[in-house]
Structure 1
């Protein structure tokens, strides 16, 4: 369902010291005629999944501009075709002399989907943390979206609790 996600962090920034976050409407880049889910429905499901994962890591969701972090996403799906010419015989024995010079080839059609989640400082708009990977997310299946967001945010740091230095 999901491959590994690549993570990019801003140097010398510890995102675990932030407390609050909000979720911005992301971008769905699947061609309109190939979409299986509306942008509004995707936003609702992505927001729910992102809030669940961030709250499990100790961050607090606020739905306004008082948030310290803003989380957004880009997702989409595209049809691709792989093909390859295997050359003469194409790894298949020739049954007649006429088959010896015949080239063999193959092709397959498939969908490739991507998910990128960005975490930025809301005040400065500086990107602090980003993850991206290929997945299957153009479905309206809530469990698929939840598991993809879980996998994408698995390595996002847990929030550091403030330590009271009481005597």
Structure 2
């Protein structure tokens, strides 16, 4: 009985964690000191989801991502401006259906009911809704990339806007805070 309960709990928590799983990678270009910049703006990016799979508008997506980016950067001492900013933040985001499958091999981890089933393999498949987002910060003058973040997330049953907000938060977690005063 304990073994069955353990397997059931593991399956439950694995399923729960997959519904909110996120991975985020960030990269700052070598030789770049982001704390030297003061102002930023956010431009409307690309929404790369097939038209028949979109469950939100591009404007709503932009509003969510923009609000999250502004909040995260302002918390770190940077100032949002509409024009003549030193940094330009852009993004690419999208969602897609992902099908995963496999084979459990002969007998499929269960006993055969009759001799015909002895060499039959059991296969499985699972369809999930996944998303991706890339955030890029460029120098407004030189157009050179300064920093970027790539996030992937599983969207099964998750609220899209909360998932995007969480991804932006996670992406900017290690973003440097701007120095208030420089030491002489």
- Report the TM-score, using the length of structure 1 for normalisation: 0.90
Mapped to 1, the partners of 2:164 and 2:23 lie a distance apart of: 15
Q: Is the 8 A contact 1:116 1:131 kept in 2?
A: yes
More helix per residue: 2
2:43 aligns with one of 11, 24, 43: 24
2:111 aligns with one of 69, 78, 93: 93
What is the number of equivalent residue pairs in this alignment? 164
2:55 aligns with one of 36, 59, 67: 36
RMSD (Å) for aligned C-alpha atoms: 1.9
Show CA shifts across 1:48-88 (max 9, x none).
Answer: 11111100000000001x10000111111110111112222
Partner of 2:89: 71
Shift of 1:140: 6.5
2:149 aligns with one of 102, 115, 131: 131
Q: Is the 8 A contact 1:20 1:62 kept in 2?
A: yes
Give the secondary-structure state (helix, strand or coil) at the position aligned to 1:13.
Answer: coil
Q: Is the 8 A contact 1:133 1:152 kept in 2?
A: yes
Mapped to 2, the partners of 1:45 and 1:6 lie a distance apart of: 20
Mapped to 2, the partners of 1:40 and 1:97 lie a distance apart of: 60
Structure 2, unaligned runs of 5 or more? 1-19
Structure 1, unaligned runs of 5 or more? none
Mapped to 1, the partners of 2:127 and 2:160 lie a distance apart of: 22
Q: Is the 8 A contact 1:75 1:137 kept in 2?
A: no
Partner of 2:182: 163
Query: 1:134-149 maps to which residues of 2 (within 5 A)?
Result: 134-136=152-154, 142-149=161-168
Query: 1:111-126 maps to which residues of 2 (within 5 A)?
Result: 111-126=129-144
Mapped to 2, the partners of 1:109 and 1:62 lie a distance apart of: 42
- Report the TM-score, using the length of structure 2 for normalisation: 0.82
**Structure 1 residues 68 and 2, CA, compared in 2 at 3 Å: closer, same or farther?**
farther
